[in-house]
Amino acid sequence: MLISGWRTFGGFRAPNRRRKPCLDIELGRGKRARRAYGFDEVALVPGKVTINPDEIDTQLRIGELELAVPIIAAAMDGAVDAHFAVEMGKLGGLAVLNLDGINCRYDDVAHVYEQIAEAPRERVNVLLQELYRQPVKDELIARRIQEIKREGVVCGVSSTPADAERKLPIVTEAGADIYFVQGTVLTARHISRSYRQLDFAQLVRNSRLPIVVGNCVEYYTALELMGTGVAAILVGVGPGAACTTRAVLGIGVPQVTATADVAAARHDHRRAGGQPVTVITDGGMRVGGDVTKALASGADGVMIGSMFASVEEAPGHGNHWGMATPDANLPRGTRIKVGTKSTLRELLLGPARVDDGSQNLMGAIKSAMGLCGARTIEEFQQTELVIAPSILTEGKLFQQAQQVGMAR
């Protein structure tokens, strides 16, 4: 039985409710597991009523911030610089600038991007480690934020937990609108004898900006993070196109299951009297159908990196690499070549020039919501899903043989 109310864990409050997962598969004597699902394994069931896509509300709310486009460009250097953030903002979305990236380490980043693009595959990881040894400059942080804000768009920035507290007054004074704190896995409780744990509750109290934290894939961890007062949680460990965390560390949960678990935590948090917390599925999406499945699994919005790295406005010259790729000790990412496939407007708003779902993401969201009878994303989260391992191959023999459409 689930008991309502609150309990306290060393300075933050969490609902006194816990959902125990069903461990129904035996891996070996004394070791059980549950089945988890990714985007390619499920499908949405159409609704009993359909709705005109033009009459659908896709607004994303994070704290007091409202965005017309529920798709966020990830804080990846190959995808987002100040120019890209401005263009994304003009289209109604949000692009997050990496405060630990090359744009805040080098005054002139054009040459740095060229080096990364031209580096041979066998040397690129060493090059990235060398380039990211240049220290982050506080004056560049302020300058990049001001470059974005001068154009009148929403500015989001991201920091690692280790430096998030120190950077908060810098980004606030420079005019940022929302602050992301990101690590491979973040928890409200971290044990260390050698350094001080970032106190998320204290960070929230000290901030005028909405605080978004990530990443997280587990129900109870999400509950505790929500209890610190954060405005949103990023869901995903290792699904990104350039990320190698799942191979290097063996850690991760497929995104449909991870999103549903964190969404369940959001539901229980609200039922126990907690403030609204936005759930954002971060990574693993390649086409519009993946985005719609993330939302139907319980997300309020999504964060994407590689697809944005492939647009003309991206700074990476058709290259994409993860935030942990330059790690000096244990890199957990690689540079991948995504090419240049469309403009940012075509990717987000269309019209699509291809038939594989990789363009006009907003059109895909609105059409899917309409077919499932959902006027809002909150209603879309109630959509029935089915386990459908053949959803991408059923009846697609000719597409597979000719490498067109869904078989590209």
Q: How far apart are CA 281 and CA 81, in angstroms?
A: 22
CATH number, span 38-407 = 3.20.20.70
Q: Furthest-apart CA pair in the chain: how many Å? A: 62
* Distance between CA atoms of residues 155 and 400, nearest Å: 42
DSSP E strand stretches across 184-300: 211-216, 232-235, 278-282
Helix (H, G, I), strand (E, B) or coil at 86: helix
Whether pLDDT at 13 is above 70: no
CA neighbours within 13 Å on the CB side: how many for 281?
31
Q: State both tokens at 385.
A: 């899903």
Give the HSE-up count for residue 298: Cα atoms under 13 Å, Cβ half-sphere. 20
Q: Contact at 8 Å (CB) between 113 and 316?
A: yes
Between CA 370 and CA 49 the distance in angstroms is 8
**Percentage of residues in the chain with pLDDT exceeding 70?**
95
pLDDT digits (tens, 9 = 90+) for 135-152: 999 999 999 999 999 999
- The two tokens of residue 360 are 């006009």
pTM comes to 0.93
In angstroms, what CA-CA distances link 51 with 43, 294, 296? 19, 20, 16
For CA atoms 279, 284, 290, 293, give the dihedral sign: negative
- Residue 7 confidence (pLDDT): 57
pLDDT band at 331 (very low <50, low <70, confident <90, very high): confident
220: Cα separation from own chain's centroid: 19
pLDDT at 2: 44
Residue with tokens 């109290």: 205
Indicate the pLDDT class of residue 10, thresholds 50, 70 and 90.
very low
CA distance 385 to 387: 7
pLDDT at residue 3 in the model:
40
Give the ranges where 17-137 is alpha helix by DSSP (H): 82-90, 110-118, 124-131
Domain boundaries, the chain: 38-407
Q: Residue 354 to residues 17, 346, 347: CA-CA distances in angstroms? A: 46, 10, 10
The CA–CA distances, whole Å, from 199 to 202, 258, 345 equal 5, 24, 39
- Which segments of 301-340 are extended strands (E)? 301-304, 319-321, 335-337
Q: Residue 25's CB: how many other CB atoms inside 10 A?
A: 10
Tokens of 396: 């697609």
Give the alpha-carbon dihedral of 289, 295, 299, 303, to 10 degrees: 40
Pairing outcome for strands 65-67 and 60-62: antiparallel
Mean pLDDT confidence for 4-33: 67
Alpha-carbon span 9 to 340, nearest angstrom: 48
Residue 17's pLDDT is 53
Residue 346: other Cβ atoms inside 10 A: 19
Per-chain mean pLDDT for the chain: 92
Tell me phi and psi for residue 341, to 5 degrees.
-115, -20
Question: How far is residue 375's CA from residue 10's CA, in Å, rounded to a whole number?
Answer: 41
Which residue from 266, 389, 327 is spatially nearest to 129, judged by alpha carbons?
A: 327
pLDDT the model gives residue 177: 98
- DSSP label at residue 405: G
Name the band, by pLDDT with cuts 50, 70 and 90, for residue 161.
very high
Least confident of 172-176, 319-323, 344-348: 319-323
In one letter, which amino acid is 160? T
**Residue 247 exposed, middle or buried by CB count within 10 Å (0-12, 13-18, 19+):** exposed
| pLDDT for the residue numbered 26 | 87
pLDDT bucket at 334, cuts 50 / 70 / 90: confident
Predicted local distance difference test score (pLDDT) of residue 18: 54
Cα–Cα dist 151/83, whole Å = 10
Q: Identify the DSSP state of 136.
A: P
Q: What angle is formed at CA 367 by the lines to CA 354 and CA 347, rounded to 5 degrees? A: 35
Candidates 337, 334, 336; CA nearest to 324 is 334
Tokens of 142: 């302020």
